[in-house]
Structure 1
């Protein structure tokens, strides 16, 4: 399985004391960054720590709509659209374009993602897949050198790592299917921001960390004269503004059949990739039916394959439900130990069976079969850690039929894939962003957008001003498994934009950046709300915990030391992180229709309703 995305360092919380929220949003060029909250011996009590975490979650309420995103300038773009009569999809597209201008290190025209849309009038949920695809010229061994995987830190900067981007096609398709405004209106705030915007702490730190991998075009924008831009500097991106203007005038064709796409393909080829304008012209998004799982009195709907988020979250929740976590205190060793063991089981199956559903027949029925879940649950020890790496189960024994889209792996294949070098797990704040919108009519959008690593491949398209993803590194470098590279294939993702229903009505939107930790982050927020009866701010603030099929677990530093030592005593290798994820969420009061938005403090964000 792929390791979590790399993320930036902790962010400092910038004060906005004395500012009216609307005035702040309209006029501020300061992005709210939030530092990670770590445990310190000088705190008066654990309750003080918890209260501080909850208070640092930015929340807002409104009956007329809601936007939650990682930068206040993008939130302003979205709420202005709602004020002007636009719907949730219109607002989400405006947020996406604005984020490209103020957070070019996390998403943009050169990337892709996954988007879940609830259409209130139709009472239907749609998943819009805009994941990047491998070009026609991609080969299963393109990340090998003399039979060995190219080191991860090298391959993320190669032209071969760049997937055919899908973000703008998603904007175009979503607007045509669900929107009410035109692209030229929604992109205007991004044009203004590209012509000049203040560099915040998050962007400044990321430029400092990542500018060594930039090509000349990116270096000229973010580190002119070799000096990285710092906090308070003005970021001026005239090429990006010009590209946005071209998009406003010409629409989607400029990127996928016109001059922008030609320049994009040329940049990829100059850096060793095979992408051509024909690859761009052939790209399209898919509109799918989201995965679902019932947990307690809610139904969780999220992204299907090639995102592993839907099936893996479903597996986690289905394994946990009979364990009745609610009988324990949320911050108890019993809860954390059960989470650790269930995560190991779910991630073992994720890595073995999941890939692009257009190429791989995943045993989705078997994975969620009650008898299979009982079998897997029976492997859990409730007192000690499962040592070593958890092995996958055999869901095909519980699935009608047999796999048809891939050949079964041989033992040698499995060994080679498991032994292939993996990148070390990095701080999973993520080079991805999640945002969510709602409107007065009840329409909802939950959208996770990415260019993979921070600043993606480090390659900017010269004269056009946007960064290119390195999303194809989410494929396994070693051929032979369900997630091997193939032409036109989408790499496996953990992205999990989610909408939760209660009694058939929307109850919650939620999502996060963070690579493979996205799955556990989203699952834990849902558990906090449904199983532990927290309010939204409490659910977002609660310390997080990550584990995969391996022997190590990763608590946030704010997980009580007694829990961390208890996990060690039970046999776990415990490796704390400062923070995990950056959740943006909207909860719907099903009696009044009022929205409560919440933006995480961990990497900064704002929630606001018009």
Structure 2
């Protein structure tokens, strides 16, 4: 089947109760919150490019999705420049402060603090990178002024904003993680905000105005930086002014993967998501999963077990390459992939999935303890993307790690601090152990798919390690099953990690569920079928027809997002 079949199967613009689709010819944006999508859309309408639109959306999302991203977030921007035909990664991932030690989350008695405790500790805050990433992207690729790109966010913070179901849900579930300052905003007078309430965020507006006047660097030197350090120090944190001042974003080469003639670009390690998806696609290709029906138990089982295999490897072998050696050649060696796939059995689900030894296919040996990280990590982030009329593609995934980050809001400035250091393995000596000035492993996976050198599909998702499964399954649905983009994203997804954290979405047919139960999937172990507003991930995707340039975009259903196309119809 050809690429043309994929585009022949794209349906007309429209909306359903579950997802929104749009078409366009002169550009498109897709964002998890409607107001942020509109900020990106207006930038494109005024002649801005894809990078301009992504910057405007990120800034707007700090206001309208502050539980998942903020001024103090970390993230990656994946960018394809259609003029140079080059793809680059702008790395704005959070970094460990200089005072970080491997035992940072242990007490004086050598006891590791529980995750819930360390995730709201001031020590968990990493040096935020997303504002430096925006600055570098703006200086290198942007065309609009910072004032133009940040003004929509300031307006959203200064004026009445109506609380959505996303806000209500997250505030209700995570209000106990918030510190006093955050509760003033999200739980005013002890009453959690609910859908329909109106909120204004003057402190955050003040912060954004400082950035508008002084530039993105004001987060790293000056009034905002001083407030960050002062806040954390008062609460026992370790970040210093020098940590912020010395942070630098960078433009890097992507990690390239392949699947049945398609090429895929991702952020490279220390990002672990793209590597895991690339490895997963090699497994899918050898398994020839599309020989089974899209709703078959065989497909669900093979996907779930393959995800466990690649995550076991990610948890054991991936970390900041500035600190450790990574067995990239071994992880992608055909012999190694085939060796790992022998662990999948159609008769039962394996109770344990151990990491493999890709070093057998390398010429060197590891310089770290090969021990799997089975500790709990955070669970959220956000993803958004833009394509402009010139064919440039920008996709960004940013995060403050746990929902509401560390729970610490900077007083008087209205934004949440991240808790990105909880992405490290708390056990000293392991590959992803905490160390000074080190990047923790992330599963962020902004993705661009190419055919014969031309980009035709970009996507990504929030969801911590579930990102790997969400992105890979949508790729499978589009590339193998040739599904309409909206249907491919809406198709029920599953997830299962090495620790048997089995999750699935409502809509998997009963016959498949019964068979999976027979194989040993514990469907009654406390996980309920999730509803449409509590899906795995929140995939955003845009496709480019290489023959006529038409664009197709979709926003997944868990968040109040929109895909908006310029000129030819709009998603509602």
Give the structure-1-normalised TM-score: 0.86
Q: Structure 1 residues 547-556 or 469-478, which shifts more? A: 547-556
Question: In structure 2, which of residues 200, 224, 231 is the aligned counterpart of residue 267 of structure 1?
Answer: 231
Deviation track 1:294-339 (CA, whole Å, cap 9, x = no partner) reads 1113112112111111111111110120221222111111111211
Deviation track 1:531-551 (CA, whole Å, cap 9, x = no partner) reads 111111111011001112234
Which residue matches 1:591? 547
1:537 aligns with 2:502: no
Which residue matches 2:285? 321
Contact 2:307 2:496 in 1 (8 A): yes
Which residue matches 1:70? 32
Structure 1 residues 100, 583: closer, same or farther in 2, change over 3 A?
A: same
Which residue matches 2:393? 444
The residue matched to 1:136 in structure 2 has which SS?
Answer: coil
Give the Cα–Cα distance (whole angstroms) in 2 for the partners of residues 233 and 340 of structure 1.
40
Contact 1:552 1:572 in 2 (8 A): no
Structure 1 residues 553, 204: closer, same or farther in 2, change over 3 A?
A: closer
1:600 aligns with 2:556: yes
Which residue matches 1:48? none
The alpha carbon displacement at 1:147 in A equals 2.2
1:135 aligns with 2:97: yes
Contact 1:355 1:491 in 2 (8 A): yes
The alpha carbon displacement at 1:432 in A equals 1.2
1:422 aligns with 2:385: no
Give the Cα–Cα distance (whole angstroms) in 2 for the partners of residues 210 and 554 of structure 1.
20
Give the Cα–Cα distance (whole angstroms) in 2 for the partners of residues 588 and 537 of structure 1.
14
1:164 aligns with 2:127: yes
Contact 1:155 1:473 in 2 (8 A): yes
Deviation track 1:247-269 (CA, whole Å, cap 9, x = no partner) reads 01111231111110011011111
The residue matched to 2:268 in structure 1 has which SS?
Answer: coil
The residue matched to 1:573 in structure 2 has which SS?
Answer: coil
The residue matched to 2:76 in structure 1 has which SS?
Answer: strand
Which residue matches 1:18? none
The residue matched to 2:236 in structure 1 has which SS?
Answer: coil
The alpha carbon displacement at 1:507 in A equals 1.2
The alpha carbon displacement at 1:451 in A equals 0.7
Which residue matches 2:334? 370
Structure 1 residues 384, 214: closer, same or farther in 2, change over 3 A?
A: closer
Give the Cα–Cα distance (whole angstroms) in 2 for the partners of residues 567 and 394 of structure 1.
29
The alpha carbon displacement at 1:576 in A equals 5.0
Which residue matches 1:568? 517
Give the Cα–Cα distance (whole angstroms) in 2 for the partners of residues 231 and 321 of structure 1.
44
Structure 1 residues 242, 140: closer, same or farther in 2, change over 3 A?
A: same
Contact 1:309 1:496 in 2 (8 A): yes
Give the Cα–Cα distance (whole angstroms) in 2 for the partners of residues 355 and 535 of structure 1.
36
Q: Structure 1 residues 185-194 or 289-298, which shifts more? A: 289-298
Which residue matches 2:504? 555
1:147 aligns with 2:110: yes
The residue matched to 2:502 in structure 1 has which SS?
Answer: strand
Deviation track 1:443-497 (CA, whole Å, cap 9, x = no partner) reads 0111111111111111111111111111111111221211110011111111111
Deviation track 1:373-412 (CA, whole Å, cap 9, x = no partner) reads 12222332233222x2211111111123333xx3345xxx
Question: In structure 2, which of residues 412, 424, 431 is the aligned counterpart of residue 463 of structure 1?
Answer: 412
Which residue matches 1:19? none
Give the Cα–Cα distance (whole angstroms) in 2 for the partners of residues 577 and 474 of structure 1.
27
The alpha carbon displacement at 1:206 in A equals 2.0
Which residue matches 2:457? 508
The alpha carbon displacement at 1:222 in A equals 2.1
1:357 aligns with 2:313: no
Which residue matches 1:183? 146
Alignment of 1:165-564 (within 5 A): 165-196=128-159, 197-386=161-350, 388-403=351-366, 406-409=367-370, 414=371, 422=376, 430-564=379-513
Give the Cα–Cα distance (whole angstroms) in 2 for the partners of residues 551 and 275 of structure 1.
35
The residue matched to 1:590 in structure 2 has which SS?
Answer: coil
The alpha carbon displacement at 1:345 in A equals 1.6
Contact 1:586 1:595 in 2 (8 A): yes
The residue matched to 1:172 in structure 2 has which SS?
Answer: helix
Contact 1:431 1:455 in 2 (8 A): no
Which residue matches 2:56? 94
Which residue matches 2:8? none
Which residue matches 1:114? 76
The alpha carbon displacement at 1:577 in A equals 4.6
Give the Cα–Cα distance (whole angstroms) in 2 for the partners of residues 519 and 235 of structure 1.
34
Structure 1 residues 431, 346: closer, same or farther in 2, change over 3 A?
A: closer
Contact 2:164 2:560 in 1 (8 A): no
Structure 1 residues 555, 214: closer, same or farther in 2, change over 3 A?
A: closer
Contact 1:555 1:564 in 2 (8 A): no
Give the Cα–Cα distance (whole angstroms) in 1 for the partners of residues 495 and 273 of structure 2.
14
Q: How many residues align?
A: 544
Task: Specify every segment of 5 or more residues in structure 2 that has no aligned partner in the other structure, as ranges.
Answer: 1-13, 567-572
The alpha carbon displacement at 1:502 in A equals 1.2
Which residue matches 2:7? none
Give the Cα–Cα distance (whole angstroms) in 2 for the partners of residues 532 and 605 of structure 1.
25
Deviation track 1:216-263 (CA, whole Å, cap 9, x = no partner) reads 322222222222222222211111111111101111231111110011
Give the Cα–Cα distance (whole angstroms) in 2 for the partners of residues 253 and 293 of structure 1.
34
Which residue matches 1:56? 18
The alpha carbon displacement at 1:54 in A equals 6.5
Contact 2:18 2:557 in 1 (8 A): yes
Give the Cα–Cα distance (whole angstroms) in 1 for the partners of residues 543 and 102 of structure 2.
43
Q: For the aligned residues, what is the CA RMSD? A: 1.7
Give the Cα–Cα distance (whole angstroms) in 2 for the partners of residues 270 and 147 of structure 1.
24
The residue matched to 1:148 in structure 2 has which SS?
Answer: coil
Which residue matches 1:41? none
Which residue matches 1:3? none
Contact 1:70 1:599 in 2 (8 A): yes
Give the Cα–Cα distance (whole angstroms) in 2 for the partners of residues 317 and 363 of structure 1.
18
Contact 1:54 1:537 in 2 (8 A): no
The residue matched to 1:591 in structure 2 has which SS?
Answer: coil
The residue matched to 1:149 in structure 2 has which SS?
Answer: coil
